[in-house]
A and B are shown apart, each in its own frame.
With several copies, the nearest count.
Chain A
Amino acid sequence: MSEREETGTGSLFAAPGMPEQERMVEAILFASSEPVTVADLNARMPHGCDAAAALLLLRDRYRGRGVQVVRVGEAWAMRTAPDLGFLMQKETVELRKLSRAAIETLAIAAYHQPVTRAEIEEIRGVSVSRGTIDQLLELEWIRIGRRRMTPGRPVTFVVTQTFLDHFGLESARDLPGLKELRAAGLLENRPPPEAADDNRPDEDTQGGLFDDTPQQEDET
């Protein structure tokens, strides 16, 4: 550190040439984890160097290249050229199964469209989270249909062409009915509930908690 004080009066060692200084700036900017100020560059380079001048040369050298020398506030850094940003993304597509809530909501929308959120909740027996609807909207499998002409004018949801394409359906009417589902073994063959048991609206909400026990394996 003591030599540094001598720079004012003239160092014993001549400063390296400009091309060499440019190399130094290049290496420092490249290896530094943060943008580097001119003062910092000068402090790290040998005495008598002119980092600011070397920086400008370096910036010109990289003009139009895949990497650029850019100013970040008071400091300098090297960055990939913005137009090549697309190369820096490695897209990995991850297939993920739709959640049970989303599938059920989607199914209700498909079978009952146009359907309001309140109706979906009534049929499912549990409330439908905002996220579930958003996800289906984002997937473009449902879209907002006409408002229902009832108090509050709630929006309705209908399935989209994208939905039909994805599931290979010509129209939502092609969805198999309950009878067909049962014939295909998709419905559990339980005896129809006894007449006496029918008037238990309070138990339906309870049923929601228990609902899917038998099919639980589906999600695993």
Chain B
Amino acid sequence: MSDPDPQFDSVADRLAAEALIVDVDGFEGPLDLLLTLSRTQKVDLRQISVLALARQYLAFVEQAKALRIELAADYLVMAAWLAFLKSRLLLPPDPSDQGPSGDDLAAHLAFQLERLAAMRDCAAKLMARDRLGRDFFARGESEGMRRVRRVKYTATLLDLMQGYARIRTRDDFRPFVMDRTDVMTLEEALERMRGLIGYAGEWTDLLSYLPEGWGGDPKRRRSATASHFAASLELVKAGRIHLRQDDTFAPIQIRARDPHDV
């Protein structure tokens, strides 16, 4: 750094700068720090010397480094940007350069600082206003509105008829288990066949074992057939009977197994 650091001219300034360093955690980012630094220039933010400010900031960062204070990345990014801005402001403009001029950049930074300062000022003014619940008050007794909730019940003719239908058909309805008049369970069939199987010395059609009243109605016959077939399989497994079928879809025949069979 070839430039002399103007802000360290006086002891007071040096102390202020050091205070800043110690306080670095108290800043809300680089912009906040810049705004604080700009106060040391004691001028209207519109006439602020961005160049001087950049120097102050860079000096601050150098100081922080010297004191081995870890600076967050955004502080370092700002430092790099300000170093770039400083060079732009100091060097004569390069006509071939595409980017914005140093003055434009400086003007924008000044604008940002002024805007932030203005918002802080507004925030303070806002908070200093007469405030509800502190300086002026709403009605204390919350008489408010009586909310009269009038409940209007509705029902349609359809609801009514469905309701009635529900009651009148209730007698037709039986709980599920009671309703299975057309179903014969495996247990029932097994129970039946165990009793009958002793009489089946010869091959007999399985269907002839169906109980009375279960052979006519197709629904009942299906159920009874299925349960008797399943029951016969159980009996085969138990070694009580033999089972045979001559051909596909041919009648299934059973015969009791002779206890002396091998």
Beta-carbon contact of B173 and A93 below 8 Å: no
Chain A residues whose CB sits within 8 angstroms of the CB of B164 once the complex forms: 104, 107-108, 110-111, 181
Beta-carbon contact of A92 and B154 below 8 Å: no
A139 — nearest CB in chain B belongs to which residue? Answer: B153
With an 8 A cutoff between CB atoms, is B143 at the interface? yes
Chain A residues whose CB sits within 8 angstroms of the CB of B99 once the complex forms: 194, 197
Partner of B100, one of A85, A185, A193: A193
Q: How far is the CB of A99 from chain B (nearest CB, A)?
A: 9
Beta-carbon contact of A126 and B28 below 8 Å: yes
With an 8 A cutoff between CB atoms, is A13 at the interface? no
Beta-carbon contact of B171 and A207 below 8 Å: yes
Can you report 9 A-B residue pairs in the complex whose CB atoms are below 8 A from each other?
A: A31-B143, A32-B140, A34-B140, A91-B148, A93-B150, A95-B134, A103-B163, A110-B126, A194-B181
B residues neighboring A (CB under 8 Å): 28-32, 74, 98-101, 104-105, 107-108, 111-112, 114-116, 118-123, 125-127, 129-175, 178, 181
Beta-carbon contact of B154 and A96 below 8 Å: yes
Most buried by B among A103, A135, A210: A103
Chain A residues whose CB sits within 8 angstroms of the CB of B172 once the complex forms: 188, 190, 192-193
Known A-B contacts A33-B141, A186-B115; the reply to A82 vs B136 at CB < 8 A is yes
Beta-carbon contact of A97 and B136 below 8 Å: no
Complex Cα spacing A73 to B111, Å:
31
Partner of A190, one of B111, B136, B148, B162: B111
Beta-carbon contact of A204 and B171 below 8 Å: yes
With an 8 A cutoff between CB atoms, is A12 at the interface? no
With an 8 A cutoff between CB atoms, is A100 at the interface? yes
Beyond contacts A94-B149, A126-B32: 20 other A-B pairs, Cβ-Cβ < 8 A, are A31-B139, A80-B143, A93-B134, A95-B151, A97-B153, A102-B155, A104-B120, A123-B119, A125-B32, A126-B28, A166-B132, A167-B131, A169-B129, A175-B161, A176-B129, A185-B111, A192-B172, A193-B107, A197-B100, A197-B174
Beta-carbon contact of A95 and B154 below 8 Å: yes
Partner of A94, one of B152, B168, B175: B152
With an 8 A cutoff between CB atoms, is A106 at the interface? yes
A residues neighboring B (CB under 8 Å): 27, 30-34, 68, 77-82, 85, 88-98, 100-104, 106-108, 110-111, 123-126, 135, 139, 165-169, 175-178, 181-182, 184-188, 190, 192-194, 196-197, 203-204, 206-208, 210-212, 214-215, 218
Complex Cα spacing A178 to B168, Å:
8
Beta-carbon contact of B129 and A168 below 8 Å: yes
Beta-carbon contact of B167 and A124 below 8 Å: yes
Complex Cα spacing A156 to B171, Å:
24
Beta-carbon contact of B167 and A92 below 8 Å: no
Q: How far is the CB of B154 from chain A (nearest CB, A)?
A: 5
Partner of A107, one of B98, B137, B160: B160
Beta-carbon contact of A186 and B147 below 8 Å: no
Complex Cα spacing A31 to B132, Å:
11
Beta-carbon contact of A124 and B153 below 8 Å: no
Complex Cα spacing A123 to B130, Å:
26
Q: How far is the CB of B163 from chain A (nearest CB, A)?
A: 4
Complex Cα spacing A185 to B119, Å:
13
Beta-carbon contact of B139 and A176 below 8 Å: no
A138 — nearest CB in chain B belongs to which residue? Answer: B153
Chain B residues whose CB sits within 8 angstroms of the CB of A182 once the complex forms: 165
B100 — nearest CB in chain A belongs to which residue? Answer: A193
Q: How far is the CB of A56 from chain B (nearest CB, A)?
A: 21
Beta-carbon contact of A107 and B126 below 8 Å: yes
Top 9 closest pairs, chain A to chain B, by CB: A125-B31, A193-B100, A107-B123, A126-B29, A107-B164, A31-B137, A82-B130, A85-B135, A33-B140
Chain B residues whose CB sits within 8 angstroms of the CB of A168 once the complex forms: 129-132, 135-136, 157
Chain B residues whose CB sits within 8 angstroms of the CB of A94 once the complex forms: 149-152
Beta-carbon contact of B122 and A177 below 8 Å: yes
Known A-B contacts A92-B150, A94-B152; the reply to A177 vs B141 at CB < 8 A is no
